[in-house]
Structure 1
Amino acid sequence: MALSIWESLAVFAAGIGAGTINTIVGSGTLITFPVLLSTGLPPVTATVSNALGLIPGSVSGAIGYRAELKGQRPLVLRLGAIAATGGLCGAVLLLTLPATAFETIVPVLVALALVLVVLQPRISARVQRRRERKGTVARAHGGPVLLGGILLASVYGGYFTAAQGIIYLSLMGMLLTDSLQRLNAVKNVLAAIVNTIAALFFLFVAHFDWTAVVLIAVGSAIGGQIGAKVGRRLPPFALRIFIVVVGSFAIVQLLLR
């Protein structure tokens, strides 16, 4: 399907916005997906085209956060392998389940993730005090609970991607002891892995629109760099506020779909 010049500009601009938002927190799909639908693309074709187009943005954002990734290779490798598995499963589900399969549960998951992001400092402090009383230490990779949570979040990410970054951040914030900015860097890598795995699968089995893919790809790559520059300068409190604002908007958008 040929896009008009105005539709092309809208998709390109949406790509920039999505790349920026995804790098800082996530939910950029809630910008690109409605724009793609407005051009006349069917929902599944729009989802597949969006997943392909957002890969450069995810990679760009991860590169922008490379300083915060130092020393995190073991964690990234472990969680990355789980994310890749989940992303592939989600991509398969997209082509086999009805389009409404996740519509009911996703807003609830995002709302729960936002609550965890807000309460994370207090909960982490209590957990740390309990560990000190018992003489135990936190597991370096979060343990089976984090691995299971990342797997499920990645299945969802391979299916739709909207707000998966918020879920990643809430899980890691609860179960790891690192700073929010360093966890955000890991989140960007996991998102890049899920998008890439799902997109590679879609390349062989699903229909997509190459024009939309290219426009979103270029836009999201630019947005990834913008998001990294902005996001890395935000103090933890401001970053949490931004996450809550974007996440709340995401919930409204998901409920109205």
Structure 2
Amino acid sequence: MTLPEMLAVAAAGLAAGAINAVVGSGTLVTFPVLLAVGLPPVTATISNSLGLVPGNLAGSLGYRRELTGQRGLLLRLLPASVLGALTGAFLLLTLPASSFEAIVPTLVGLAVVLVAVQPLVQRVLARRRPADAPPVQIRGARLAALFAGAYATGSYGGYFAASQGVLQIGVFGLLMRESLQRLNAIKNVLTLAVNGVAAAAYVVVATDRVDWLAATLVAAGSLVGGYVGARVGRRLHPTALRAAIVVLGCVAIAVLLAR
């Protein structure tokens, strides 16, 4: 990897860390960059997951105020996310690389659509979930649905991380009376768990498929980006940020289809 390529990967990690803390689609920045510098799709995904963990941690810590009162719910959802992450990692490591290369353009396309329609989802949720709405008891069928949603999004994130946060906010927002900021805090913690567990699985059973230089560069960038995103990310104009993600997602699809 040349010096300009290394700088590009680190910069992509920084941007992804900030985007993940605020929106939840940072992989749509790092993934096309890793492909562009020559990494195979599966190696790019594994290295990307490892590299984004520090950024997920920084983003989660930055949203700790919004986590107040949500410890019990997180303790109930974290096992589902962990099981989902292991499922997704297992699928990534056992399915043929050709299957991943065939599926990923569709997943990236889905992620791009989710990012594009997120403002509509947010407006709907904002009308249904006032910012001052008190938490409700989560039990019974609602808890089962949340557990299933955490497992499904965890499986998606363990296999391919792009926009798992958007999926989580959409699913949890339909089932919980919480503000978007508190939903985002939950999303950050569960994403940290998914990426952390999946990354650990990759290191244990697929060390030879990790590009450690790329993972380290993404990690360094995402750590700074996660901190910055949690601190000042809400001041960024969402339309410009979303447009950049959609463009980069389309680039990723074009690169994958051209391989």
Shared fold (TM-score, shorter chain, > 0.5)? yes
Which amino acid in structure 2 is aligned with residue 53 of structure 1?
Answer: G
User: What secondary structure does 2:210 align onto?
Assistant: coil
- Give distance in 2, aligned partners of 1:48 and 1:64: 25
Q: Which amino acid aligns with 1:18?
A: A
Match of 2:81 in 1: 83
Q: What is the rounded CA distance, in whole Å, between the counterparts of 1:224 and 1:188 in structure 2?
A: 10
- 1:181 match: 181
Cα offset, 1:90, TM superposition: 0.3
1:103–1:144 Cα change, 3 Å:
farther
Contact 1:88 1:197 in 2 (8 A): yes
Kept in 1, the 8 Å contact 2:50–2:215? The answer is yes
Structure 1 equivalent of residue 218 of structure 2: 216
Decide which of 62, 65, 72 is 1:64's aligned counterpart. Answer: 62
Instruction: Check whether the contact 1:83–1:190 (CA below 8 A) recurs between aligned residues.
Output: yes
Q: State the partner residue of 2:167.
A: 167
* Change in CA separation of 1:140 and 1:110 when aligned onto 2, cut-off 3 Å: farther
Mapped contact 1:15–1:217 kept (Cα < 8 A) = yes
After superposition, the Cα gap between the structure-2 partners of 1:216 and 1:116, relative to the gap in structure 1 and judged at 3 Å, is: closer
TM-score by length of structure 2 reads 0.82
Q: The residue matched to 1:101 in structure 2 has which SS? A: helix
- Other structure's SS at 2:39 match: coil
- The aligned amino acid for 1:164 is Q
Deviation digits for residues 2-57 of structure 1 (CA, Å, limit 9, x no counterpart): x2111111111011011011110111111111111122211111111110010000
8 Å CA contact retained: 1:153, 1:164: yes
Amino acid in the other structure paired with 2:66:
E
Match of 1:148 in 2: 148
Amino acid at match of 1:221: L
Partner of 2:229: 227
State the match for 1:16 in structure 2: 14
TM-superposed deviation, 1:252 = 3.9
Structure 2: gaps spanning 5 or more residues: none
| Contact preservation (8 Å) 2:52, 2:195 | yes
Matched position secondary structure for 2:103: coil
Distance in 1, Cα, partners of 2:128 & 2:2:
56
Unaligned runs of 5+ in 1: 129-136
Query: Where does 1:1-257 land on structure 2 (aligned, <5 Å)?
Result: 3-97=1-95, 98-99=99-100, 100-101=102-103, 103-104=105-106, 107-108=109-110, 111=113, 115=117, 118-119=120-121, 122=124, 139-140=137-138, 142-206=142-206, 207-232=209-234, 245=243, 248-249=246-247, 252=250, 255-256=253-254, 257=256
SS in 2 for 1:231: helix
Q: What is the total number of aligned residue pairs between the two structures?
A: 243
Alpha carbons 2:108, 2:162 under 8 Å: kept: no
* Cα separation, 2, equivalents of 1:176 and 1:7: 43
Contact conserved, 2:89 with 2:201, CA < 8 A, in 1?
Answer: yes
> Is the CA contact 1:20–1:228 (under 8 Å) kept in the aligned structure 2?
yes
Question: TM-score, with normalisation over the residues of structure 1?
Answer: 0.83
Q: Secondary structure at the match of 2:178?
A: coil
Identical positions, percent: 46
Cα RMSD for the two superposed structures: 2.8
Judged with a 3 Å threshold, the aligned counterparts in structure 2 of structure 1 residues 255 and 121 are, in CA distance, closer, same or farther, namely same
Query: Residues 202-241 of structure 1: CA distance to partner in whole angstroms, max 9, x if unpaired?
Result: 002221111111111110000001110123557xxx76x6
Cα 1:107–1:53 shift into 2, 3 Å: same
Instruction: Describe the shift of the 1:116–1:48 C-alpha distance in structure 2 as closer, same or farther (beyond 3 A).
Output: closer
Distance between the aligned counterparts of 2:111 and 2:40, measured in 1?
26
Residues 21 and 59, structure 2, Cα contact 8 Å, conserved in 1: yes
1:217 alignment partner AA: A
Q: Give the letter for the 1:67 counterpart.
A: R
Could you tell me which amino acid in structure 1 is paired with residue 20 of structure 2? N
